[in-house]
Amino acid sequence: MNAPELEKFINDYLKTSEFRDYCPNGIQVEGRTEVRKIVTGVSATQKLIDYAVSVNADAVLVHHGIFWKGDPQALRSFRKKRVETLIKNDINLFAYHLPLDAHPEIGNNVLLAENLGITIDGACDSGEKHPMVLKGHFSAPLSLADLIARVDHNLAHKSFAIGGGGDIIENVAWCTGSAYDFIELAAQNGADVFISGEIAERTVHTAEELGIDYIAAGHHCTEVFGIKKLGELLAGRFGLEVDFVNFPNNI
């Protein structure tokens, strides 16, 4: 498939033009025109790029790309090596950030809910065109300890929890990745617990003072779902060979 045509399809499907993001969505590094084999993963690390080279992939498709607002503009050190490897091997780098978090069908947030057995009731930020903070409930109330065990088992990762509220949980709000500062919005929407990827020092105090539990389930592991599902979509729709590779990250 033609790389620009592939980019257009994904851009249209994820509605990337409707998002204000911290990074460019779409092709971040241009490679060969024809794309038949794609390696997908959460982040455009050197390890993932080297793997793509080893299997002669035409493109790397990730959630976290190389270029971010506020980063140095000079290509030096590890950034230079990543880009150099892609260009030397004529490999495209596609990256999709917020549009892949928020998508109503293959987004990280809706797929995390599916994974944890949460029924989606709506969004805490329902006034936004593309809500990022969802809310819902469990089919039956459960204890914080049982929820932590479910999160850790389903995501294959050791989470970090703050028991800032009560022990019995029914209503939940969540946002994958680095979204700890949405905890106040979650509390305002009546959530017993807020689940996100990471935690900051201030999150502990906020949870305790708002009376809400908080689970930092892991930035990486809460954002595996969307990119994997996007790759499966492309494979099914266009007959492309797609290889999802997960290099676990403790954060």
Domains 3-97 and 103-220 share a fold: yes
Q: How far is CA 117 from CA 134, 145, 155, 243, in A?
A: 14, 16, 12, 27
Structural Rg of the chain based on CA atoms? 19
Beta bridge partners of 205: none
Asked whether the whole model's pTM tops 0.75, one would answer yes
Name the pairing type of β-strands 160-162 and 213-216: antiparallel
CATH 3.40.1390.30 fits 3-97, yes or no: yes
Residue type, 15: K
Host H or E run for residue 5: helix 3-14
Find how far residue 42's CA is from the centre of its chain: 7
pLDDT of residue 166: 85
∠ Cα 152 158 164 (to 5°): 85
Q: Could you read off the pLDDT of 152-172 as tens digits, one per residue?
A: 999 999 999 999 998 899 999
User: Which CATH class name applies to 103-220?
Assistant: alpha beta
Q: Could you read off the pLDDT of 74-132 as tens digits, one per residue?
A: 999 999 999 999 999 999 999 999 999 999 999 999 999 999 999 999 999 999 999 99
- Proportion of the chain above pLDDT 90, given as a percent: 98
Q: Where are the domains of the chain?
A: 3-97, 103-220
Residues 6+ apart with CB under 8 A from 18: 99, 129, 130
Q: Could you read off the pLDDT of 180-234 as tens digits, one per residue?
A: 999 999 999 999 999 999 999 999 999 999 999 999 999 999 999 999 999 999 9
Contact 61, 40 (CB under 8 A): yes
The Cα–Cα gap between 215 and 229 comes to: 24
Name the pairing type of β-strands 37-43 and 241-244: parallel
